[in-house]
Amino acid sequence: MSRFVLYYRETMLGDITSATRDEGAWMVGDIALSNAAQQFQDFFSYHVAEEDVTLSREDLQDLLNEKNWSVVNAETGVGKGIEPPAIYDDGTIYWRWS
């Protein structure tokens, strides 16, 4: 299994392990979030449960823009764009390549 790294723009948000293909185009794995990911917790909650959050409309549009998200293969250094990931409280991450 490959190890991946999640990025929002240039900010490393966490290490992804146990990554496998899920249904259809979805990938699933376990993520260990970095300290930098703390500022994204409201977005992650909104994105998986559509909970009310204190994000501005402009911030939300920016966070939902798939051009800002990528996953890099830690072994090869090759990165690829993804749609905004779904990250759950139990450390599970789902993403689709864009």
pLDDT in tens, 8-65: 999 999 999 999 998 888 999 999 999 999 999 989 988 888 666 677 888 889 999 9
Query: Cα separation of 44 and 95, whole Å?
Result: 12
| Residue 91, helix vs strand vs coil | coil
As a 3-state breakdown, the chain gives helix, strand, coil percent values, each rounded to 5, of 25, 40, 35
- pLDDT tens, 54-89? 778 888 899 999 999 999 999 999 999 999 999 999
Cβ neighbours, 10 Å, residue 25: 11
Contacts of 76 (CB under 8 A, 6+ apart): none
Q: In this predicted structure, what is the pLDDT of residue 1?
A: 62
